[in-house]
Structure 1
């Protein structure tokens, strides 16, 4: 895939420094009011563009280094080679300059706000895909296809050519896309009162009726018997650890063209969870069950270890047995909407608008308990797990301050950020170190993990 050939943004790692504005020797002058607000456009300005003199170096170096804590290895930052001199780097506001976005910032490299879309090493922005008019609510990259599919609340699905980055077609659905996933060659799209299912290899086009209201989340599960025969752990399409990625890829390579999903689950506005089975005789999906339990809409789910996990606007997570589709546990530690769920190794990760990410682990009794809680400054919208260029597990956490944080697992040490004009609602893993983000403006960005630069003598 060669997205970089079409105008990729090369200013990925650039973080411009300095305080901004012309200086003055007269320390008795007043500090510019507009500069404090980040809006001064006078050049030169007769007032000061700086505050009081900075503290002596000793006071800066004496600042405490923030560390995370936890009862186990979760949140425990490992030893690093950063010396105290690293803390002397001038820290700018972690906010993208609104004037830079509009192309008219007059401060250039002296602006106190960021003139880039990311911070951190190890990944880069390749290109931006423009076309959607509003929130990108789903991104899919089906197996065996050279096309990328993006769904939006503008009631369309756009098809992009992976080689050129050009939009090859627009599918009008007549309803807002609430979610979209892919599994093998299949794409499932949730719109009000229906789920669309497309097979990109056979051109099969199915409509699954039954949902009431908006469809916010979808997942696919396979039969336990098939998984046991292959000797592999098969998990859902939301996220997984590095080891599971390769196991799942091997399994799907065998499955492709041989079997179809056993169960496809849909989460609706009324709190019901609908499940379908694929019927090979009729070449279609038939209703399998309706799972009741949540009091309000279900907005997230993930499948792992023969369990289905559902997060809801009622602030709870329910654990369902995929064999009998019965609820076996209800988790109530979150205090707001459970926005996203993720399976990583033997852990379940959940995030919420209560500004926390919780890590769950099974006890000897088989029930899940919280083993670590990571606190954010903003509500958390989406979780996505993926390996970096060195196959180390990284957690991407999208927050409602229009940013995505990168964390190493299991330490939860932060390693970078990416920014957007509006909230990033969709994150999708791709092949060859690619990953995709879709935000509230309708913009889709293509990123790639890359080898970190090595020091040269």
Structure 2
């Protein structure tokens, strides 16, 4: 991320006088160079401040009758860690991206480089961020260091007071959730491509194998079969699925008699690596480096449909209510819904300025659905659904590859410097 401090003197000016600039409408434009932190004109005929938010009906739409739907179950989202979601139906939600179009968090969205180094002399008067986040609805609780490379997986096995992180530094670390202390390090001899937990089991994807640990009995298993890196995993219909570098999706089923995971299926169809998986509506969805999404029946494990609307790698998939959300390096998030024929089609496309890496969803402190999406500009955007009104941003020094949801309003982000614990702020009671 560009941590351009740019701590130039901020002059308290609102543009030239009417005498200097007869065109009064010109003075209502925000200086492009000031926004970029490099305006050298004094006096400048343009505004050196952001325009105020619009008022009236347009600004009030976010509180109108089209308010975001509350979750149908615990979260309404489905993903590698939150995979249980309601079935798709044919009810198109026409409010995607329409509510709160003007509700945008407005501030100079650059972290002050001098603040990062601990020596910014402007303090509160600095117009660059002295914070790793932008928004008042969540707070940073802790930053835990230890990994030497980017964190690619975060998992919280059920019924435990430990959190596990995996990294490209070829290690898995166990953390005490009460103290934040690292309890142990496992050296795997290969980069961790992904990590999930299901019940007491912790699954870690590395090149050519999936490692499985029972965190209650300490049983360790190695599931062979993958060719190349294992990039993504998900559990559905009592099967463990893994997306691999050669484009194959492998499935294992646990055998209680042998106390082992046995190969159950091999799903072929993608021409390049499978990098994202999600389960919802009795289907398995897979995203690939071949730019496509495939829908598979969980009962027959046959491919039902191939979606080709993305133009780059499909990095992450998420199920919310009757919708499938997908994000890609093509800088878009697409929202899919089932037609009467049962096939999926795009009902809304949200565009970003950067490639997208990961999607996660969770309820905020008011139980309203929030979408978190990490971008390859070292940030995470938070959006209200279904309006896609911006709720806040999280910044990092490196790409945030892992996002995980925890209990009690906690969520976690992992980048190349470690991982951060965040918490939703308590909702303010309404009078």
**Equivalent position of 1:211 in the other structure:** 226
Paired residues of 2:235 and 2:279 also in contact (CA < 8 A): yes
**Equivalent position of 1:268 in the other structure:** 244
Question: Would you say 1:21 and 2:46 are equivalent positions?
Answer: no
> Equivalent residue of 1:451, what SS?
coil
Question: CA shift at 1:54, angstroms?
Answer: 4.7
**Equivalent position of 1:323 in the other structure:** 299
Question: CA shift at 1:101, angstroms?
Answer: 1.0
1:409-450 deviations in whole A, cap 9, x for unaligned? 1111111111111111100000011000001x2310000012
**Equivalent position of 1:76 in the other structure:** 98
Question: Would you say 1:167 and 2:143 are equivalent positions?
Answer: no
**Equivalent position of 1:52 in the other structure:** 44
After the TM superposition, which residues 45-444 of structure 1 pair with which residues of structure 2 at under 5 Å, given as runs? 52=44, 54-55=46-47, 72-78=94-100, 92-222=107-237, 262-439=238-415, 441-444=416-419
Distance 1:401 1:36 in 2: 18
> Equivalent residue of 1:281, what SS?
coil
> Equivalent residue of 1:424, what SS?
coil
> Equivalent residue of 1:289, what SS?
strand
Distance 1:132 1:321 in 2: 38
> Per the alignment, do residues 79 and 53 of structure 1 end up closer, same or farther by CA in structure 2, a change over 3 Å counting?
closer
Instruction: Tell me the number of residue pairs that the alignment of Structure 1 and Structure 2 aligns.
Output: 377
Paired residues of 2:109 and 2:128 also in contact (CA < 8 A): yes
> Equivalent residue of 2:397, what SS?
coil
| Structure number having the greater helix percentage | 1
Question: CA shift at 1:308, angstroms?
Answer: 0.4
**Tell me, which stretches of 5 or more residues in structure 2 are unaligned?**
1-5, 17-33, 63-91
Paired residues of 2:101 and 2:387 also in contact (CA < 8 A): no
TM-score, reference length from structure 1: 0.76
> Per the alignment, do residues 178 and 50 of structure 1 end up closer, same or farther by CA in structure 2, a change over 3 Å counting?
farther
> Per the alignment, do residues 50 and 95 of structure 1 end up closer, same or farther by CA in structure 2, a change over 3 Å counting?
farther
Distance 1:327 1:403 in 2: 34
Question: CA shift at 1:395, angstroms?
Answer: 0.3
Comparing 125-134 with 91-100, greater Cα deviation is found at: 91-100
> Per the alignment, do residues 303 and 63 of structure 1 end up closer, same or farther by CA in structure 2, a change over 3 Å counting?
same
> Per the alignment, do residues 324 and 20 of structure 1 end up closer, same or farther by CA in structure 2, a change over 3 Å counting?
same
Question: CA shift at 1:105, angstroms?
Answer: 2.1
> Per the alignment, do residues 59 and 279 of structure 1 end up closer, same or farther by CA in structure 2, a change over 3 Å counting?
closer
Distance 1:303 1:59 in 2: 44
1:233-282 deviations in whole A, cap 9, x for unaligned? xxxxxxxxxxxxxxxxxxxxxxxxxxxxx211111111011111111111
> Equivalent residue of 1:100, what SS?
helix
> Per the alignment, do residues 299 and 56 of structure 1 end up closer, same or farther by CA in structure 2, a change over 3 Å counting?
closer
Distance 1:57 1:148 in 2: 43
Distance 1:414 1:341 in 2: 20
Question: CA shift at 1:121, angstroms?
Answer: 1.9
> Per the alignment, do residues 363 and 62 of structure 1 end up closer, same or farther by CA in structure 2, a change over 3 Å counting?
closer
Distance 1:155 1:192 in 2: 10
Larger RCO: 1 or 2 (CA < 8 Å, sep 6+): 2
Distance 2:369 2:320 in 1: 9
Task: State the superposition RMSD in angstroms.
Answer: 3.2
Distance 1:304 1:61 in 2: 39
> Per the alignment, do residues 355 and 109 of structure 1 end up closer, same or farther by CA in structure 2, a change over 3 Å counting?
same
> Per the alignment, do residues 51 and 263 of structure 1 end up closer, same or farther by CA in structure 2, a change over 3 Å counting?
farther
Distance 2:50 2:233 in 1: 54
Paired residues of 1:20 and 1:49 also in contact (CA < 8 A): no
Question: CA shift at 1:61, angstroms?
Answer: 7.3
Of 407, 416, 424, the residue aligned with 1:449 is 424
> Equivalent residue of 2:401, what SS?
strand
Distance 2:181 2:46 in 1: 50
**Equivalent position of 2:66 in the other structure:** none
Question: CA shift at 1:60, angstroms?
Answer: 6.4
1:78-132 deviations in whole A, cap 9, x for unaligned? 599x8xxxx9x9x542111122111122332232321101111221100100100
Distance 1:352 1:117 in 2: 24
> Per the alignment, do residues 96 and 335 of structure 1 end up closer, same or farther by CA in structure 2, a change over 3 Å counting?
same
